[in-house]
Structure 1
Amino acid sequence: MDLFSLALGALLKAVGELTDDDLTRPSGCEGWLVRDLVCHFVIDAQDVLITLVTPTAGPVTHDAVTYWKVAHEPADDPLAALTVRLAAAYGEPWMLKHHVDDVGRAALRAAGMADPSLKVTTQDMVLCTSGYLGAYVWEWTLHHLDLVANLPHLAGPLAQALARCREMFEQIAGPFPAGWSDVDVLLVGTGRRAPTEPERAALGGTWIPFVLG
């Protein structure tokens, strides 16, 4: 749960440093500008706030890793186009940044006050709060990489968040070469970057990235 707050805090700091020009640059999410990705953070933070106040008595069915649906091809997301339209609807860039900071800080406060053993429900799943917030370490960290993909002047995700995400990802996809950086594992493993020929050979030839959503 501490790592959730650290990862989200680092992401919000990076968003706060975006210039108006930065928001118009392509992000690491295919087809999305940085402003579209930042708008997605609003939706993510709202989801966290909603889930943390949706307790259940049902048995736990998922944890931080099994929360994610795994595929080898991106699935159609009906909210993707809506997110782009919502991002464009903000009249001024500062309005979008303010909204993200507002709901993001609220999510930080809510996570800090949450009982880690409380069971919550979302998307027909039941998780302990600690497991749910642990799943979002992946969300914040991967999208932090997307945020800074074309903005090298911004700080990337925290090292401990990257290490945890690599650990989670290798539970799903299997181990990667030990000499690879956590960033390279996450970018190549999720299809955000094509492997080089030596990397492909190290992965055993044909490599199909994993999509977690």
Structure 2
Amino acid sequence: MRAPERGALPLRLAATLGRTYGRLTETVQGLADEDFARPTRCEQMAVGPLLVHLLYDAERALTAFASPSTSEPDRDFVSYWKDFPAGSGSDPSFVQVVASAYKNPSRSLVGHWREVSEAAVRAAAVASADKHHLVQTQGHVLRIGDFVATLVTEATIHHLDLTLELPDAPEPDPEALQVTARTLDGLFGPEAWDVIAWDTTTYVLKATGRLPLDDQDLEMLGDHASRLPLIG
């Protein structure tokens, strides 16, 4: 079965990022302090440390939006992830230590996340006014739309990570899920994703190693199964 047609990236990616970060805020606001110790799909990261990880990503975004480049882009929203294959994630011990410093995470950590993430969304909207704007991040140069798409993908995957033991959490933004799936399509290639029969959320979870492949999946994917996970 051919994968759903995902089309081009949204024209208003800053708005997509705003909804993506907003859904994350909805997920963590109202949690009790003890909920920040609940496990997630991210190995060795509870809810609190994973939110710290997302907070640092939003801070990195703010730095990138304030770091324009005149060099030619050397990555797009797909090839950016080739530098971060499965197993290349950072040591979780750092964010665990930082998370432990928030003594009342339901107020202090969530408040810090909200402040930084909302500032990143405002900066994204300003930077995106010029579609030719180029930014520098992690040693690479990307067009503004490609960069914002990477932020959406990262946040969407981690949103699904956070909800493992938070049954009342909202689902990720539908457009953000499509951006994430479109990114995975680019990494997987049409010869692989043309055979995928998963719904979009299952695709994101299985293609990033959050859910294991069962026998039916292995039969469906054939030789392509060895390429998963695409992103860690």
Q: TM-score, normalised by structure 2?
A: 0.84
Structure 1 counterpart SS, 2:136: strand
Gapped regions of structure 1 (runs ≥ 5): none
Conserved in 2, the CA contact under 8 Å of 1:39 and 1:87?
yes
Identify unmatched segments of 5+ residues in structure 2: 1-12
Q: Is the 8 A contact 2:188 2:230 kept in 1?
A: no
State yes or no: 1:68 paired with 2:81.
yes
Which residue does the alignment assign to 2:31?
A: 18
Q: Deviations over 1:45-74 (max 9, x none)?
A: 100000000011111111111111256640
Establish whether residue 84 from structure 1 lines up as the match of residue 84 from structure 2: no
Match of 2:231 in 1: 212
Identity %: 30
Runs of 4+ residues deviating >4 angstroms: 70-73
Name the residue aligned to 2:9. Answer: none
Mapped partners of 1:156, 1:31: distance in 2 = 23
User: Structure 1: how far apart are the matches of 2:182 and 2:39?
Assistant: 28
The answer (yes or no) to whether the contact 2:206–2:229 under 8 Å persists in 1 is no
TM-score w.r.t. length of structure 1: 0.91
Cα gap change, 1:206 to 1:167, in 2 (>3 Å) = closer
Instruction: Please say if 1:143 is aligned against 2:126.
Output: no
Give the AA of the match of 2:117. Answer: G
Of residues 163, 166, 186, the one that matches 2:181 is 166
The count of aligned residue pairs is 212
Say what the alpha-carbon RMSD is for the aligned residues: 1.9
> Relative to structure 2, which stretch is displaced further, 88-97 or 2-11?
2-11
Q: Which amino acid aligns with 2:97?
A: R
How much does 1:186 deviate?
1.0
User: Quick one: which of 121, 124, 129 aligns to 1:111?
Assistant: 124
The change in CA–CA distance for 1:75 and 1:151 in structure 2 (over 3 A counts) is: same
